[in-house]
Amino acid sequence: MPEPIVEIKNLSVYFYTYAGVVKAIEDVSFDIYRGETLALVGETGCGKSVTSRAITKLIESPGKIVNGQVIYHRDDGSTVDLLKLSDEGIREIRGNEIAYIFQDPHSSLDPLYTVGYQIGEAMEVHGKVRNIKEGIAKAVNILREVLIPDPENRVKNYPHELSGGMKQRVVIGIGVANNPRLLIADEPTTALDVTVQAQILELLNELKRKYNATVLLITHNLGVVAETAQRVVVMYAGKVVEIGTVDQIFHNPLHPYTTALLRAVPNPLGKIEKLESIPGTVPNLITPPKGCRFHPRCPFAEERCRKEVPKLKEIEPGHFVACHRY
Protein backbone atom coordinates (compact mmCIF):
# COMPACT_ATOMS: atom_id res chain seq x y z
CA MET A 1 0.00 0.00 0.00
CA PRO A 2 1.58 3.30 -1.05
CA GLU A 3 1.88 5.81 1.71
CA PRO A 4 0.52 9.32 1.14
CA ILE A 5 2.63 12.44 1.70
CA VAL A 6 -0.26 14.86 1.14
CA GLU A 7 -3.97 14.14 1.32
CA ILE A 8 -6.21 16.79 -0.19
CA LYS A 9 -9.76 16.49 1.11
CA ASN A 10 -12.84 18.34 -0.15
CA LEU A 11 -10.85 21.42 -1.12
CA SER A 12 -12.89 24.36 -2.44
CA VAL A 13 -11.51 27.72 -3.50
CA TYR A 14 -13.75 30.61 -4.53
CA PHE A 15 -12.82 33.98 -6.02
CA TYR A 16 -15.05 36.84 -4.97
CA THR A 17 -15.05 39.11 -8.02
CA TYR A 18 -17.35 41.96 -9.06
CA ALA A 19 -18.90 39.71 -11.69
CA GLY A 20 -19.83 37.15 -9.06
CA VAL A 21 -18.35 34.27 -7.07
CA VAL A 22 -16.08 32.19 -9.27
CA LYS A 23 -16.06 28.65 -7.96
CA ALA A 24 -12.56 27.91 -9.20
CA ILE A 25 -12.32 24.50 -7.59
CA GLU A 26 -14.98 22.61 -5.71
CA ASP A 27 -14.75 19.54 -3.54
CA VAL A 28 -11.38 18.45 -4.88
CA SER A 29 -9.92 15.35 -3.20
CA PHE A 30 -6.89 13.27 -4.07
CA ASP A 31 -3.76 11.89 -2.45
CA ILE A 32 -0.16 12.38 -3.42
CA TYR A 33 1.96 9.34 -2.63
CA ARG A 34 5.45 9.52 -1.26
CA GLY A 35 8.10 9.30 -3.96
CA GLU A 36 5.79 9.37 -6.98
CA THR A 37 5.34 11.86 -9.76
CA LEU A 38 1.69 12.74 -9.88
CA ALA A 39 0.42 14.59 -12.93
CA LEU A 40 -2.47 17.02 -12.65
CA VAL A 41 -3.95 17.52 -16.09
CA GLY A 42 -6.78 19.50 -17.62
CA GLU A 43 -7.53 22.45 -19.84
CA THR A 44 -6.50 26.01 -19.08
CA GLY A 45 -8.74 27.43 -16.36
CA CYS A 46 -9.83 24.08 -14.94
CA GLY A 47 -8.31 24.84 -11.54
CA LYS A 48 -5.01 22.95 -11.72
CA SER A 49 -2.88 25.88 -10.60
CA VAL A 50 -5.38 27.01 -7.99
CA THR A 51 -5.40 23.50 -6.51
CA SER A 52 -1.63 23.34 -6.37
CA ARG A 53 -1.33 26.77 -4.80
CA ALA A 54 -4.07 26.14 -2.25
CA ILE A 55 -1.95 23.29 -0.85
CA THR A 56 0.20 25.89 0.94
CA LYS A 57 -2.49 28.59 1.16
CA LEU A 58 -0.91 30.59 -1.67
CA ILE A 59 -4.27 32.07 -2.62
CA GLU A 60 -4.37 35.85 -2.95
CA SER A 61 -7.37 38.07 -2.38
CA PRO A 62 -10.06 38.05 -3.84
CA GLY A 63 -9.56 34.28 -3.71
CA LYS A 64 -10.42 32.34 -0.59
CA ILE A 65 -10.10 28.73 0.51
CA VAL A 66 -13.65 28.14 1.66
CA ASN A 67 -13.48 24.50 2.62
CA GLY A 68 -11.25 21.48 2.88
CA GLN A 69 -8.20 19.97 4.47
CA VAL A 70 -4.66 19.40 3.27
CA ILE A 71 -3.11 16.73 5.48
CA TYR A 72 0.67 16.74 5.23
CA HIS A 73 2.60 13.69 6.46
CA ARG A 74 6.03 14.65 7.70
CA ASP A 75 9.00 12.31 7.38
CA ASP A 76 8.84 11.57 11.13
CA GLY A 77 5.29 10.26 10.83
CA SER A 78 3.47 13.27 12.34
CA THR A 79 0.66 14.87 10.37
CA VAL A 80 -0.57 18.45 10.10
CA ASP A 81 -3.46 20.20 8.33
CA LEU A 82 -1.65 22.86 6.29
CA LEU A 83 -4.77 24.97 5.92
CA LYS A 84 -5.01 25.38 9.69
CA LEU A 85 -1.44 26.62 10.12
CA SER A 86 -0.67 30.23 11.03
CA ASP A 87 0.94 32.56 8.47
CA GLU A 88 4.34 31.95 10.02
CA GLY A 89 3.73 28.20 10.27
CA ILE A 90 2.89 27.86 6.58
CA ARG A 91 5.75 30.19 5.60
CA GLU A 92 8.21 27.80 7.25
CA ILE A 93 6.88 24.99 5.07
CA ARG A 94 6.75 26.92 1.78
CA GLY A 95 9.94 26.70 -0.19
CA ASN A 96 11.35 24.43 2.46
CA GLU A 97 9.36 21.20 2.74
CA ILE A 98 6.98 22.03 -0.10
CA ALA A 99 8.57 24.04 -2.90
CA TYR A 100 7.19 25.45 -6.13
CA ILE A 101 8.34 25.92 -9.68
CA PHE A 102 6.19 28.36 -11.60
CA GLN A 103 5.22 28.38 -15.21
CA ASP A 104 6.93 31.47 -16.60
CA PRO A 105 10.57 31.86 -15.59
CA HIS A 106 10.64 35.32 -17.18
CA SER A 107 8.26 36.64 -14.57
CA SER A 108 8.98 34.46 -11.54
CA LEU A 109 12.39 35.94 -10.83
CA ASP A 110 12.90 39.42 -9.40
CA PRO A 111 14.69 41.40 -12.13
CA LEU A 112 16.57 43.58 -9.66
CA TYR A 113 18.54 40.87 -7.84
CA THR A 114 21.22 38.47 -9.04
CA VAL A 115 20.23 34.84 -9.46
CA GLY A 116 22.77 33.91 -6.78
CA TYR A 117 21.06 36.26 -4.35
CA GLN A 118 17.65 34.80 -5.14
CA ILE A 119 18.82 31.21 -4.64
CA GLY A 120 20.73 32.16 -1.50
CA GLU A 121 17.69 34.00 -0.18
CA ALA A 122 15.61 30.81 -0.38
CA MET A 123 18.09 29.13 1.96
CA GLU A 124 18.57 32.15 4.20
CA VAL A 125 14.86 32.65 4.98
CA HIS A 126 14.67 29.04 6.17
CA GLY A 127 17.77 29.30 8.31
CA LYS A 128 19.78 26.89 6.17
CA VAL A 129 22.61 29.39 5.91
CA ARG A 130 23.69 32.08 8.37
CA ASN A 131 23.63 35.00 5.98
CA ILE A 132 23.07 35.87 2.33
CA LYS A 133 26.82 35.73 1.60
CA GLU A 134 26.97 32.10 2.57
CA GLY A 135 23.76 31.53 0.61
CA ILE A 136 25.26 32.98 -2.55
CA ALA A 137 28.36 30.83 -2.08
CA LYS A 138 26.15 27.75 -1.82
CA ALA A 139 24.11 28.89 -4.82
CA VAL A 140 27.14 28.09 -7.00
CA ASN A 141 26.73 24.40 -6.17
CA ILE A 142 23.03 24.55 -6.85
CA LEU A 143 23.61 26.16 -10.24
CA ARG A 144 26.05 23.38 -11.01
CA GLU A 145 23.42 20.84 -10.01
CA VAL A 146 20.83 22.29 -12.37
CA LEU A 147 23.47 22.05 -15.10
CA ILE A 148 24.21 25.69 -15.66
CA PRO A 149 27.64 26.06 -17.21
CA ASP A 150 30.21 28.31 -15.54
CA PRO A 151 28.23 28.62 -12.27
CA GLU A 152 30.94 30.68 -10.52
CA ASN A 153 30.25 33.56 -12.90
CA ARG A 154 26.56 32.91 -13.58
CA VAL A 155 25.80 33.36 -9.91
CA LYS A 156 26.49 37.07 -10.36
CA ASN A 157 24.17 37.38 -13.36
CA TYR A 158 20.82 39.12 -13.32
CA PRO A 159 17.79 37.25 -14.69
CA HIS A 160 17.67 39.31 -17.89
CA GLU A 161 21.17 38.15 -18.74
CA LEU A 162 20.02 34.52 -18.99
CA SER A 163 17.95 32.69 -21.59
CA GLY A 164 14.49 31.34 -20.80
CA GLY A 165 15.77 27.79 -20.28
CA MET A 166 18.55 29.04 -18.00
CA LYS A 167 16.09 31.10 -16.00
CA GLN A 168 13.87 28.07 -15.51
CA ARG A 169 16.92 26.14 -14.32
CA VAL A 170 17.48 28.92 -11.78
CA VAL A 171 13.83 28.69 -10.70
CA ILE A 172 14.24 24.92 -10.34
CA GLY A 173 17.41 25.60 -8.37
CA ILE A 174 15.43 27.81 -6.01
CA GLY A 175 12.84 25.04 -5.76
CA VAL A 176 15.33 22.33 -4.78
CA ALA A 177 17.61 24.61 -2.71
CA ASN A 178 16.21 23.37 0.58
CA ASN A 179 15.82 19.73 -0.45
CA PRO A 180 12.00 19.77 -0.36
CA ARG A 181 9.90 16.68 0.29
CA LEU A 182 7.28 17.75 -2.24
CA LEU A 183 8.07 19.74 -5.35
CA ILE A 184 5.12 21.33 -7.11
CA ALA A 185 5.95 22.09 -10.73
CA ASP A 186 3.25 24.27 -12.28
CA GLU A 187 3.58 23.83 -16.04
CA PRO A 188 7.36 24.16 -15.82
CA THR A 189 7.93 23.89 -19.56
CA THR A 190 4.95 25.73 -21.04
CA ALA A 191 6.72 29.07 -21.45
CA LEU A 192 9.84 27.51 -22.95
CA ASP A 193 11.11 26.61 -26.36
CA VAL A 194 10.17 23.08 -27.41
CA THR A 195 13.82 22.07 -27.67
CA VAL A 196 14.44 23.22 -24.10
CA GLN A 197 11.32 21.53 -22.69
CA ALA A 198 12.77 18.04 -22.85
CA GLN A 199 15.97 19.15 -21.12
CA ILE A 200 14.04 20.76 -18.28
CA LEU A 201 11.87 17.64 -17.78
CA GLU A 202 14.97 15.45 -17.82
CA LEU A 203 16.52 17.71 -15.17
CA LEU A 204 13.41 17.52 -13.01
CA ASN A 205 13.34 13.72 -13.20
CA GLU A 206 17.00 13.49 -12.31
CA LEU A 207 16.70 15.84 -9.33
CA LYS A 208 13.66 13.95 -8.11
CA ARG A 209 15.61 10.68 -8.15
CA LYS A 210 18.57 12.27 -6.45
CA TYR A 211 16.64 13.92 -3.64
CA ASN A 212 14.07 11.15 -3.40
CA ALA A 213 11.40 13.84 -3.58
CA THR A 214 7.75 13.66 -4.53
CA VAL A 215 6.63 15.71 -7.53
CA LEU A 216 3.25 17.15 -8.35
CA LEU A 217 3.47 18.02 -12.03
CA ILE A 218 0.84 20.29 -13.45
CA THR A 219 0.55 20.19 -17.19
CA HIS A 220 -1.82 20.09 -20.10
CA ASN A 221 0.67 18.20 -22.19
CA LEU A 222 -0.27 14.51 -22.19
CA GLY A 223 3.04 13.59 -23.80
CA VAL A 224 4.82 14.97 -20.75
CA VAL A 225 2.50 12.97 -18.51
CA ALA A 226 3.24 9.67 -20.27
CA GLU A 227 6.97 10.31 -20.03
CA THR A 228 7.34 11.46 -16.44
CA ALA A 229 4.37 10.54 -14.24
CA GLN A 230 3.25 7.37 -12.49
CA ARG A 231 -0.27 8.52 -11.70
CA VAL A 232 -2.66 11.07 -13.17
CA VAL A 233 -5.43 13.26 -11.79
CA VAL A 234 -7.72 14.65 -14.50
CA MET A 235 -9.60 17.86 -13.69
CA TYR A 236 -12.44 19.50 -15.51
CA ALA A 237 -14.08 22.84 -14.63
CA GLY A 238 -12.84 22.84 -11.05
CA LYS A 239 -13.62 19.19 -10.26
CA VAL A 240 -11.63 15.97 -10.29
CA VAL A 241 -13.16 13.67 -12.92
CA GLU A 242 -10.74 10.77 -12.98
CA ILE A 243 -7.74 9.44 -11.07
CA GLY A 244 -5.59 6.49 -12.08
CA THR A 245 -2.18 5.20 -12.98
CA VAL A 246 -0.70 6.37 -16.26
CA ASP A 247 -1.43 2.93 -17.68
CA GLN A 248 -5.07 3.01 -16.58
CA ILE A 249 -5.66 6.54 -17.88
CA PHE A 250 -4.01 6.01 -21.26
CA HIS A 251 -5.25 2.49 -21.99
CA ASN A 252 -8.57 2.41 -20.20
CA PRO A 253 -9.90 5.96 -19.86
CA LEU A 254 -13.32 5.86 -18.23
CA HIS A 255 -14.58 9.44 -18.12
CA PRO A 256 -15.89 10.80 -21.43
CA TYR A 257 -13.78 13.94 -20.87
CA THR A 258 -10.56 11.92 -20.45
CA THR A 259 -11.41 9.97 -23.58
CA ALA A 260 -12.00 13.14 -25.54
CA LEU A 261 -8.81 14.73 -24.17
CA LEU A 262 -6.73 11.73 -25.28
CA ARG A 263 -8.33 11.76 -28.72
CA ALA A 264 -7.38 15.43 -29.10
CA VAL A 265 -3.66 14.53 -28.95
CA PRO A 266 -2.44 14.17 -32.52
CA ASN A 267 -0.49 11.03 -33.35
CA PRO A 268 2.74 12.13 -35.03
CA LEU A 269 3.06 8.82 -36.88
CA GLY A 270 -0.22 8.99 -38.77
CA LYS A 271 -1.38 11.45 -41.39
CA ILE A 272 -3.73 13.94 -39.80
CA GLU A 273 -6.66 15.25 -41.81
CA LYS A 274 -8.24 17.24 -39.05
CA LEU A 275 -7.33 18.00 -35.43
CA GLU A 276 -9.80 16.48 -33.00
CA SER A 277 -11.40 18.84 -30.57
CA ILE A 278 -13.95 18.59 -27.79
CA PRO A 279 -17.22 20.22 -28.89
CA GLY A 280 -18.53 23.11 -26.83
CA THR A 281 -16.61 25.44 -24.53
CA VAL A 282 -15.32 25.41 -21.00
CA PRO A 283 -18.19 26.43 -18.71
CA ASN A 284 -18.33 29.70 -16.86
CA LEU A 285 -17.44 28.95 -13.27
CA ILE A 286 -19.66 31.67 -11.80
CA THR A 287 -22.72 29.63 -12.72
CA PRO A 288 -21.34 26.17 -13.49
CA PRO A 289 -23.67 23.60 -15.08
CA LYS A 290 -25.80 21.75 -12.55
CA GLY A 291 -25.15 18.08 -11.95
CA CYS A 292 -22.09 16.82 -13.79
CA ARG A 293 -20.17 19.87 -15.02
CA PHE A 294 -19.24 18.09 -18.24
CA HIS A 295 -22.81 17.19 -19.27
CA PRO A 296 -23.32 20.03 -21.82
CA ARG A 297 -20.37 18.70 -23.84
CA CYS A 298 -20.81 15.01 -23.10
CA PRO A 299 -22.06 12.69 -25.90
CA PHE A 300 -23.49 10.29 -23.29
CA ALA A 301 -25.34 12.84 -21.19
CA GLU A 302 -28.69 11.74 -19.82
CA GLU A 303 -31.29 13.17 -17.47
CA ARG A 304 -29.46 12.11 -14.32
CA CYS A 305 -26.26 13.93 -15.38
CA ARG A 306 -28.13 17.25 -15.45
CA LYS A 307 -29.36 16.90 -11.89
CA GLU A 308 -27.01 14.85 -9.80
CA VAL A 309 -23.36 15.57 -9.11
CA PRO A 310 -21.42 12.34 -9.72
CA LYS A 311 -19.12 11.14 -6.93
CA LEU A 312 -15.68 9.60 -7.37
CA LYS A 313 -16.04 5.81 -7.47
CA GLU A 314 -13.28 3.23 -7.47
CA ILE A 315 -13.81 1.08 -10.53
CA GLU A 316 -10.64 -0.99 -10.34
CA PRO A 317 -7.85 -0.78 -7.72
CA GLY A 318 -6.49 2.77 -7.77
CA HIS A 319 -8.72 3.87 -10.67
CA PHE A 320 -11.40 6.40 -9.68
CA VAL A 321 -13.94 8.14 -11.89
CA ALA A 322 -16.74 10.63 -11.29
CA CYS A 323 -19.32 9.64 -13.89
CA HIS A 324 -22.85 8.25 -13.74
CA ARG A 325 -22.09 5.68 -16.43
CA TYR A 326 -20.16 3.55 -13.96
| C-beta of 62 vs 280, nearer to another protein | 62
- On whether the CB atoms of residues 236 and 259 are closer than 8 A, the answer is no
Closest Cα partner for 25 from 72, 68, 56, 80? Answer: 68
What's the distance, CA 75 to chain centroid? 21
Total length of the chain:
326
CB of 217 to another protein, least distance (A): 16
| Residue of the chain from 21, 71, 80, 125 that contacts another protein (CB under 8 A) | 125
| C-beta of 94 vs 255, nearer to another protein | 94
> Could you say which residues in the range 156-215 bind another protein, by CB under 8 A?
158, 160, 171, 174
Backbone angles phi, psi at 93, to 5 degrees: -85, -40
The site that binds another protein (CB under 8 A) totals a number of residues, namely 30
In whole angstroms, give the CA distance from residue 167 to residue 278.
35
CB of 118 to another protein, least distance (A): 8
CB of 197 to another protein, least distance (A): 19
| C-beta of 92 vs 227, nearer to another protein | 92
Long-range contacts of 197-200 (CB under 8 A, 24+ apart): 197/224, 199/165, 200/165, 200/168, 200/169, 200/172
- On whether the CB atoms of residues 235 and 28 are closer than 8 A, the answer is yes
| Residue of the chain from 18, 60, 274, 277 that contacts another protein (CB under 8 A) | 60
Closest Cα partner for 185 from 150, 220, 218, 144? Answer: 218
Task: Please give the order of strands across the beta sheet that includes 231-236.
Answer: 98-101, 182-186, 214-219, 37-41, 231-236, 239-245, 319-321, 313-316
245 contacts: CB under 8 Å, gap ≥ 6? 230, 231, 232, 318, 319
| C-beta of 57 vs 297, nearer to another protein | 57
> Could you say which residues in the range 90-119 bind another protein, by CB under 8 A?
91-96, 99-100, 102, 104, 107-114
| Residue of the chain from 56, 197, 219, 228 that contacts another protein (CB under 8 A) | 56
Window contacting another protein (CB under 8 A); options: 89-97, 230-238, 276-284, 306-314: 89-97
- On whether the CB atoms of residues 119 and 108 are closer than 8 A, the answer is no
| Residue of the chain from 26, 31, 36, 121 that contacts another protein (CB under 8 A) | 121
| C-beta of 125 vs 312, nearer to another protein | 125
How many other C-beta atoms lie within 10 A of the C-beta of residue 275? 8
Is there binding between residue 72 and another protein (CB under 8 A)? no
| DSSP code string of 233-248 | EEEETTEEEEEEEHHH
Window contacting another protein (CB under 8 A); options: 33-41, 52-60, 231-239, 295-303: 52-60
Backbone angles phi, psi at 128, to 5 degrees: -80, -20
> Could you say which residues in the range 134-163 bind another protein, by CB under 8 A?
158, 160
**CA-derived radius of gyration, the chain:** 20
CB of 43 to another protein, least distance (A): 21
| C-beta of 17 vs 287, nearer to another protein | 17
| C-beta of 138 vs 297, nearer to another protein | 138
Window contacting another protein (CB under 8 A); options: 55-63, 143-151, 206-214, 236-244: 55-63
CB of 136 to another protein, least distance (A): 15
Q: Which residues bind another protein (CB under 8 A)?
A: 53, 56, 58, 60, 91-96, 99-100, 102, 104, 107-114, 121-122, 125-126, 158, 160, 171, 174
